[in-house]
Structure 1
Amino acid sequence: MWIVFALSAALAAATVVTLSKAGVKHVDSSLAFAIQSVLILVVSWSVVITQGHLPDVMRIERRVWIYLVVAGVLTCLSSLLSFRALKLGNASQVSPLTNFSLVFSIILASVFLKEKLSWQVIAGAVLMAVGAVTIAMARG
Structure 2
Amino acid sequence: MASWIPYALLSALFAALTTIFTKIGIRGVDSDLATAIRTVVILLLTWGIALARGATAGLPALTQRTWVFLVLSGLATGASWLCYFRALKLGPVTKVAPVDKLSVALSLLLAAAFLGETISVRGALGAGLILAGTLVLVWS
What is the deviation of 1:102? 0.5
Q: How big is each residue's C-alpha offset from its partner over 1:25-74, in whole Å with a ceiling of 9 and x where there is no partner?
A: 21010011111000000000011001101121111000010000011011
* Structure 2 partner of 1:70: 72
Report the TM-score when normalising by structure 1.
Answer: 0.96
What is the deviation of 1:24? 1.1
Structure 1 residue corresponding to 2:130, chosen from 113, 128, 132:
128
Identity rate, percent = 37
Runs of 4+ aligned residues of structure 1 deviating over 4 Å after TM superposition are none
Q: CA RMSD in A?
A: 0.7
* Structure 1 partner of 2:34: 32
More displaced, 50-59 or 85-94?
A: 50-59
Please say if 1:100 is aligned against 2:102.
Answer: yes
* Structure 2 partner of 1:83: 85
What is the deviation of 1:75? 0.4
- Aligned-partner SS, 2:104: helix
What is the deviation of 1:130? 0.7
Q: What is the aligned length?
A: 138
* Structure 2 partner of 1:47: 49
Report the TM-score when normalising by structure 2.
Answer: 0.96
